[in-house]
Amino acid sequence: MTSTMLNACMRFIALFTAALLMTLTLSGCWNRRELNDMAVAIAIGIDRVDEQYEVTIQTVDPSQMSNNRNVDRFPTRIYSEKASTIFEALRKVTSKSSRKIYLAHLLLLLFNEEMARDGIKEPLDFLFRDHEVRPDFNIAVTRGYQTKDVLSIVTPLEVLSALDLYRSLNVSQKLWAPTAAVNINEMMVMLTNDGVEPILTGLTLIGDLNKGLSADNVKQPRPYLYFKFKGIGVFRKDRLVGWLNEPDSKSFSYVNNHVSSTVGSVQCPGSKKRFAIELVKSKVSREPSIRNGSPHMKLIVHVSGNVGEVQCETEINDKSIIELQELASEQLKSIIENSIQHVQSQYGVDIYGFGANFHQKYPKQWRQWRTNWNEQFAQMSIEVQMDYHLRLIGKIISPFGNNPQQKKE
């Protein structure tokens, strides 16, 4: 009797000890992170300063985002540190901030133009490698300003400027073609794939920088300083070589099928006025081929659009709409052809990914071409074929106030 009780006792003690040891050591206390020990970073800017990286971090102050906020304190905080690696700079920030930077909510990564010209694959390595960093933020290059300044501005629409920039980039990629929201995933693919060269959108500020850094910027309807995404930057390997102007950037978006909706204007037949088309569907299919041993690319542009704004004097009927369609088609074709020629002659860098198309269709030839593909690209012949359709014309048929040319009897 007693021995069984003793046995039960021993079992209990053994199990209790085991459970105690387990809870003390295995409950995952190593990786706990209290919310008030984290500074959530929503944007990072990397500048090149004297051979080092100057990393600027925009963090959120969560208590200032709630309803009872202190109007004098601003919701975002900017920290800046210089070091020779990005990782060191982020840790150095703790000497200024009471919290450790938490990178999982990153929205935006900005590079200084000088940094971009120096090569971006080194600073990107930390962001590729770290486990906290997620692949859903966008990358851009600032033109003419340090990222430190760009991240410090007060933006008109959102309280968090990184959120404003991120949303604007995504929205403008969809609705106004000359920008490209490149996220880090696509960057990885562009860097490893040898048939494509990377691109990044440019970001610039317009207005008075000093006034834009304070809350005065948004105290009246017209801000003193606002940001603008402008141009697409062309990279060779991982270094910036130049910027595309607006028509070239737009046609880049067309060729790469980034456009989901955009607006363009065309000159009216017979007058200097213009009419605007809203493009609702755009798809460019590529047909690589080989002519006389050198690569040739045929682009077939399928575009479907609606007439959005007519300033012309003409009536809109089924004959005139064909005329408008022809004009729009010709204009788009020449924009695309000219811009590809610009890229070929000015930069000689295959940003469209034609190399990847040739790799997929002609692997044997690709093996010979891949070492100097950019030279091949620069001399490649391009053919553009249009398949343009104008379908809808909106609520009214002909512009109001036009003198009727002919009255139907």
Q: Site residues (CB under 8 A) for other proteins?
A: 7, 10-11, 14-15, 17-18, 21-22, 24-26, 28, 30-31, 131, 134-136, 185, 188-189, 192-193, 356, 359-361, 363
Minimum Å gap between C-beta 31 and other proteins is 4
Q: Token pair for residue 58?
A: 């925009």
Residue showing tokens 């809870």? 23
CA distance 179 to 259: 10
Q: Which is nearer to other proteins, 117 or 302 (CB)?
A: 302
Beta strands in 143-273 (DSSP E): 182-183, 199-207, 225-236, 239-244, 262-267
Helix 246-255 to helix 318-342 angle (10° resolution) is 100
Q: At what angle do helices 121-129 and 184-192 cross, to 10 degrees?
A: 120
Taking the least distance from each CB to other proteins, the nearer of 26 and 396 is 26
Task: Cite the beta strand spans of 120-259 per DSSP E.
Answer: 138-142, 182-183, 199-207, 225-236, 239-244
Helix, coil or strand: residue 185:
helix
Nearer to other proteins, 145 or 369 (CB): 369
Residues whose CB is less than 8 angstroms from the CB of residue 271 and which lie 6 or more positions away in sequence, other chains included: 312, 313
Nearer of residues 21 and 322 to other proteins, judged by Cβ: 21
| CB-based contact 204:145 (threshold 8 Å) | yes
Which residue lies nearer to other proteins by CB, 45 or 288? 288
Provide, rounded to whole angstroms, the least separation between the CB of residue 147 and other proteins.
24
Using the minimum distance from each CB to other proteins, give the nearer residue, 219 or 281.
281
In the complex, the smallest distance separating the C-beta of residue 57 from other proteins, rounded to whole angstroms, is 20
**Closest to other proteins by CB, 338 or 360:** 360
Neighbouring-strand partners of residue 381:
296
- Token reading at 252: 């880049």
CB 99 to other proteins: min, Å? 16
Phi and psi angles of residue 158, each rounded to the nearest 5 degrees, phi first: -115, 155
Q: Least Å distance between CB 134 and other proteins? A: 6
> What is the rounded distance in angstroms from the CA atom of residue 162 to the CA atom of residue 76?
9
Query: Which CB, 245 or 257, lies closer to other proteins?
Result: 257
Asked if residues 87 and 22 have their Cβ atoms less than 8 Å apart, the reply is no
Give Cα separations from 2 to 5, 12, 13 (angstroms).
5, 15, 16
**Minimal distance in Å, beta carbon 126 to other proteins?**
14
Comparing CB distances to other proteins, the nearer of 22 and 215 is 22
Shortest spacing between CB 29 and other proteins, in angstroms: 9
Hey, which bits of 50-155 come out as E strands? 52-60, 76-83, 100-102, 108-112, 138-142
Rounded to a whole number of angstroms, the minimum distance from the CB of residue 13 to other proteins is 9
Distance in Å, CB of 37 to other proteins, minimum: 13
